[in-house]
Structure 1
Amino acid sequence: MSRSQCARCLRPQTHCLCPLIPSLDSRTRVLLLQHPSEVNHALNTARLAALGLNNAELIVGEVFEDLPQRLNQPGYQARLLFPADDAQPLQVYAPSDQPLLLVVPDGTWRKARKILHLNPLLAALPRVTLAEGAVSRYRLRKAPGPGALSTVEAIVQALQVLEAPTSFELLLKPFEALIEGQIAAMGEETYQRNHGG
């Protein structure tokens, strides 16, 4: 017997996050390019970000045929949020006269790199990066390194820089509820054994 699912947040109806998802405005346009393997992931944080931001769009795929049109948004300068040696810190753009179209690949690091490889136009975009040393609230996985954030956390951090003093912390409310729910489902003892200090 399958559990009924919320059509909006894709969570089981009994664990729907919609009441916690805000409706936030931003000057920055966020384009999330999600690898198909992430769509049914229990912690689909890119979807939470797209639902919570009025100026965001989530597209699922590996190759994006309409990328030239999507990147050429009048009034926006497109930047890829992805590490690189020549990536500029987001502080360079804040506050900017021209808002950014922030392109965010969503998937494991390997899958995100594959999206870039399959879409040369994307790989050619100027890259921006977050400040170093951010600590993830994603307590259910071992981060591959310092500063490794979930997609929604990276977007919140980017918007906090680009649109200061506006706060985007409300975007993290459904994410934190999701984490708490996962911990509750596995039980405190299991959580401590697998993820505790």
Structure 2
Amino acid sequence: MVGPERPQFVLFGSSIVQLSFSNEGWGSILADIYARKADILLRGYCGWNSRRGLQVLEQIFPKSLSPTTRIIFLSTPPINEQQIKETLSGKFGKVNRTNEDCRVYSEACLQLCQEMDVNCIDLWTAVQQRDDWLTTCFTDGIHFSPEGSKIVVKEILKVLREAEWEPSLHWKSLSTEFSEDSLYDPIGPDAKTTINVSDMDVERHMQWE
């Protein structure tokens, strides 16, 4: 660990996670929002499924998690079948995945999480709430474009805002690291007083309620 202890968000999954820091992805947006508040750790592995992930689960997460550990599942998002045919078929052969398959997997994930009392985000439904989702939310029919990633971030923050967790993990509830005034802060326009700019990004982040 580097620096003071702060909350850690571990993003674990397949290519949708691994690529979440690329192309204005949802992981990079979270890292920006949580700068000086929490660490966003990327543990994504392209091409993996849940069976492959289970093989290394104890290498990613400790066997005995902290009592304050919180879990949020992201259900299977929808896909653009035509875009997949146009962009991925030449690389991987015929891609048999359908949006209906994604719905089935998404509903199974939601049901399991409900039975286990674990928070789960219904990405399959959330993405399709946007009228132009087929043409704006993906780069290749599967992975998120910047617009698709914004939907993911909004859904994650909604869970964090509404969850009755102590402490709250919503970005507005977390303290800013090293936010105290200092003689070494930047000098203001009067050339005499210092300006504490530790929360200068708050206004820019207000879109992320």
Per the normalisation by structure 1, the TM-score is 0.36
Larger strand fraction of residues = 1
Structure with higher RCO (Cα < 8 A, 6+ apart): 1
